[in-house]
Amino acid sequence: MTAKKDDKTEKKSLTKTDAQKMCICKSCPSYAECGDQIAYCIGKKSKCIKNEKGCICMICPVQQKMDFDKTYYCIRGDYKSQKK
Amino acid sequence: MNEKKSKIKNWKCGVCGYERSAATPPESCPQCSSGSGEFFERKEKTKLRYDGKKYDVLLINGSIHKTHNTGKICDMAEVELRKKKISYLRINLSEYNIMGCWCCYSMADFACTYPCRNQLDDAPALHEHIINSKAVIVASPINWNNMTVTLKKFLDRLTSIQNRTLLGKTSLTVNKTFGIIINGHEDGAMKTAMDIFFYFEQLGYIMAPFGIGYKTHGAENKAETDNDFFKNNESLKKQIRGVVNNVSEMIKLDLEKKLKDKIKPVAE
């Protein structure tokens, strides 16, 4: 069986507002509510999330749209900082 | 008395988990007979994080024992890698927390992702080492004509990398190189090697020519004589030198770069 064809669709950038509407941070086993702004992959780290109890970033629509490939943005920092 | 107390450490057997507080680890573990080299000082374990370092070769010890027969073979491979001035990282899989694959793929093609859905253990950091090295050399003993469960758990976790090709994404491992070295008491060496081979073939790796070395001792011999046998066997040493040499020569060809975007993935 051969692999499926590549998806050649261009990746668009996302505003923070759009990302927060799409993102699934609140469903994550690591998530803790403390008034943070979610979509940590393009924003700031969480003030209160400290323990890596699991990560669901890899199936988040924001991650798919932006072609990100990191994890635990809430603890480790946004995509740009982890990419370095 | 205070001086003696301060020298007491908490030792833990890396094979079976047996613990003892003493100045030195036991010569032989009372629970599993593993040697003192398998003990480590018990500390709170933190999850492995990838440190960003890149190596030419990832040398993987697939045994539950880090210092026994397969460990000694890895020691010999390290000597050869250093002689060739090849940068490497040796990984004793038994020192890491690696859970079994969750088989997300069996739920749906797209459910198996890279990064792996399981971010709870040390496998994600090891994935980054796999992706950022040019080659892998796997050393394994033989359990029931097969690789160890220690090694299989790790190799199964590479599914998240392999599944990218099924999802139409760029392979992160195509055109890398690998070699295999097997040791065992009785038989099953080539079958074990081929089982390991299959994983890397499906990841797009290119096996080095004459890239499998193996040695078995024989059922007629006592297991406790295996260590001396493998340490001193000239034929095994030649095979280790050969596999390391051949992997090193493949690295020099830089096929990863030369074949970039030219290889069509064919995956299950």
Instruction: Confirm or reject contact between B113 and chain A (CB < 8 A).
Output: yes
Average pLDDT rounded to a whole number, residues B105-123: 95
Which residue, among A31, A55, A76, A84, would best test binding to B if mutated, counting the most B CBs under 10 Å from its CB?
Answer: A55
pLDDT digits (tens, 9 = 90+) for B43-52: 888 899 999 9
The predicted pLDDT at position A3 comes to 40
pLDDT digits (tens, 9 = 90+) for B196-214: 999 999 999 999 999 999 9
Confidence (pTM) = 0.91
Tell me the ipTM for this assembly.
Answer: 0.83
* B39-41/B177-184 β-pairing: unpaired
Instruction: Answer whether B264's CB lies under 8 Å from B70's CB.
Output: no
C-alpha distances out from residue A79 to A63, B124, B163, Å? 10, 16, 22
B119–A72 CB contact, under 8 Å: yes
* Predicted pLDDT at B237: 96
Flag if A59 and B117 touch (Cβ within 8 Å): yes
Say if residue B215's pLDDT is above 70: yes
pLDDT band at B1 (very low <50, low <70, confident <90, very high): very low
Q: Residue B206 corresponds to which tokens in the numbers above?
A: 């290119």
Lookup: tokens for B57: 């070769």
How is B138-193 classified by DSSP, letter by letter? Answer: EEE--BTTB--HHHHHHHHTTHHHHHHHHTTPPPSSTT-EEEEEEEESSS-HHHHH
Distance from CA of A22 to the nearest CA of B (A): 18
d(CA B111, CA A35): 30
Alpha helices per DSSP H over A6-45: 16-22
